Amino acid sequence: MILPRIFAQDVNALMKRVRAKLDLVNDYKADGLLKTDVPFIKVPESKVSVFYKKPNKFRIKKEEGISIVPKGGITINLNSLFTGNEYTAIHGGATTIGGKQLIIVKLLPLNEENEVVLSTLYISDKEALIYKANTTTKNNGTYEMEMIYGRFANWGLPDKVLFIFNTKEYKLPKGVTFEYETEEKPELAARQKNQKGKVEITYRNYAINKGIEDNIFNVQE
């Protein structure tokens, strides 16, 4: 298979196309199904509502119980990667994932106070869609995000998102408690092992650009 060729000077043009597609969405409310796979913790499948509003407001609301998602909208919402255009894009070569030819682009934040240290994006040049993103942060380790597109690809919105994160590095939100798989909590050392946690959201529908009140994002941790 011949991998796509793209020169370093073309990376910024590619990023503009990706951002232009994402910029079509001012806000959305989506309904979906959340599945969580975290060692030692029982979290049943649940229906969720997902809310987004420009530039970077994001919330996942669960009908009941808890949701485990990496902190910081930057890892959950692709739009946040481009907020303020405060990054340098570097050409990182090309690869294939799932039979798709993808361009690798590394984003380096210009603001030293940014929580994100580096984001590596795997982008379809033909579709201007991000299929995979690896994000390294200062305080919450490294996350991986994979996207599957379908009905809402023209808006840059995925039908399914898979988050993969390191359970040792992930910091739980304040006040969150869990039901463990056994009656006794696992030893701290066991819980702190280098293990992978996974969160999958399958979207059933999106209501795009219908308007969302700001108070929906006022959530106390």
- Within 10 angstroms of residue 179's Cβ, the number of other Cβ atoms is 11
DSSP 90: E
Query: pLDDT at residue 59 above 90?
Result: no
Residue 173: asked if its preceding bond is cis (omega within 30°), the reply is no
- Of the listed ranges 37-41, 129-133, 179-183, the least confidently predicted one is 179-183
Q: How many angstroms separate the most distant Cα atoms in the chain?
A: 57
For the structural domain made of 8-204, what CATH number should be given? 2.50.20
Query: pLDDT at residue 217 above 70?
Result: yes
Contacts of 110 (CB under 8 A, 6+ apart): 86, 87, 88
Q: Please state the rounded mean pLDDT for residues 27-40.
A: 88
- Of the listed ranges 21-30, 46-55, 107-116, 176-185, the least confidently predicted one is 176-185
CA distance linking residue 82 with residue 103, whole number of Å = 17
Two tokens at 9?
């000077």
The confidence score (pLDDT) of residue 9 equals 57
In percent, how much of the chain has pLDDT > 70?
Answer: 73
Query: pLDDT tens, 148-196?
Result: 999 999 999 999 999 888 777 655 544 444 444 444 455 544 555 567 8
Kindly report the pTM of this predicted structure: 0.82
The domain spans of the chain are 8-204
Show the beta-strand stretches assigned E in 6-155. Answer: 27-37, 46-53, 57-62, 87-97, 100-109, 116-124, 129-137, 142-148
